Amino acid sequence: GENVEQHPSTLSVQEGDSAVIKCTYSDSASNYFPWYKQELGKGPQLIIDIRSNVGEKKDQRIAVTLNKTAKHFSLHITETQPEDSAVYFCAARFGNEKLTFGTGTRLTIIP
Amino acid sequence: ETGVTQSPTHLIKTRGQQVTLRCSSQSGHNTVSWYQQALGQGPQFIFQYYREEENGRGNFPPRFSGLQFPNYSSELNVNALELDDSALYLCASSFYPSGSTGELFFGEGSRLTVL
Yes or no: say if B106 and B47 are a contact pair by the CB < 8 Å rule.
Answer: no
Q: What is the mean pLDDT of chain A?
A: 94
Is the per-residue pLDDT at A6 higher than 80? yes
pLDDT band at A96 (very low <50, low <70, confident <90, very high): low
CA angle B49, A87, A104 (to 5 degrees): 70
Yes or no: say if A52 and A68 are a contact pair by the CB < 8 Å rule.
Answer: yes
Interchain pair A43, B106: CB under 8 A: yes
Report how far residue A31's alpha carbon sits from residue A24's, in angstroms, rounded to the nearest whole number.
Answer: 13
Per-residue pLDDT tens digits for B99-113: 545 688 999 999 999
Give the closest-approach CA distance of B113 to chain A in angstroms: 14
User: Smallest Cβ distance to B56: which of A32, A97, A101?
Assistant: A97
Is the per-residue pLDDT at B1 higher than 60? no
Q: State whether residue B45 sits within 8 Å of chain A by CB.
A: yes
Interchain pair B102, A96: CB under 8 A: yes
Is the per-residue pLDDT at A98 higher than 90? no
- In this structure, of A57-66, A68-77, A91-100, the range with the lowest mean pLDDT score is A91-100
Give the closest-approach CA distance of A52 to chain B in angstroms: 12
Classify the phi-psi angles of B68: left when phi > 0, otherwise alpha if psi is within -120 to 50, otherwise beta.
Answer: beta
Give the SS3 label for residue A2.
Answer: coil
Q: Give contacts of A91 with chain B, Cβ < 8 Å.
A: 42
Give the closest-approach CA distance of B65 to chain A in angstroms: 17
Interchain pair B106, A36: CB under 8 A: yes
Report how far residue B35's alpha carbon sits from residue B21's, in angstroms, rounded to the nearest whole number.
Answer: 12
